[in-house]
């Protein structure tokens, strides 16, 4: 993908307010968690998972990701890998890491 596309997608994301939902979240703190704990499977950019059964998370809604991670913490949603990763994280960690991946450009869309 070329640079113009990346910029365009980022600008569109900003214009649509996708990344402003979690205004209080600390994206840089989220980046540290993302790059050390999420990138190995979901890709550093959040859109190149190592296995097609793993979701792309770049550009996903942050509140949805916080909800999913919370469900892994409580066991409402079960996955051996995600359960182990989510459980030690604080609520602030969840919000920060969700804000980080939500801020990244990606292919996810509402298009029909």
Partner 1 sequence: MCTGCHTIPGYQASFPKVYHVPKIGGQSAKYIESALTAYKKGERNHPTMKVIAAGLSDKQIADIAAYYAARGSEPAVAANK
Footprint of partner 1 (CB under 8 A): 1, 5, 9, 16, 21, 43, 47-49, 51-56, 59-61, 63-64, 66-67, 76-78, 105-112
Q: Give the separation between CA 23 and CA 29, rounded to whole angstroms.
A: 13
Q: How far apart are CB 31 and partner 1 at their closest, in Å? A: 21
Q: Which residues contact 33 (CB under 8 A, 6 or more apart)?
A: 89, 93, 96, 97, 100
Closer Cβ to partner 1, 21 or 32, answer by number: 21
Q: How far apart are CB 55 and partner 1 at their closest, in Å? A: 4
Closer Cβ to partner 1, 32 or 55, answer by number: 55
Q: Give the separation between CA 12 and CA 8, rounded to whole angstroms.
A: 6
Q: How far apart are CB 89 and partner 1 at their closest, in Å? A: 17
Closer Cβ to partner 1, 32 or 63, answer by number: 63
Q: Are 105 and 59 in contact (CB under 8 A)?
A: yes
Cα-trace Rg, the chain: 14
Q: Are 103 and 23 in contact (CB under 8 A)?
A: no
Closer Cβ to partner 1, 34 or 62, answer by number: 62
């Amino acid at each position: 993908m070329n640079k113009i596309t990346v910029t365009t997608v980022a600008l569109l994301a900003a214009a649509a307010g996708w990344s402003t939902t979690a205004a209080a979240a600390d994206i840089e703190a989220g980046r540290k968690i993302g790059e050390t704990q999420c990138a190995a499977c979901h890709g550093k950019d959040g859109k190149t998972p190592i296995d097609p059964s793993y979701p792309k998370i770049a550009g996903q809604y942050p509140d949805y990701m916080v909800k999913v991670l919370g469900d892994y913490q409580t066991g409402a949603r079960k996955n051996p890998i995600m359960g182990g990763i989510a459980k030690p994280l604080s609520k602030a960690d969840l919000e920060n890491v969700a804000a980080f991946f939500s801020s990244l450009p990606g292919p996810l869309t509402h298009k029909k």
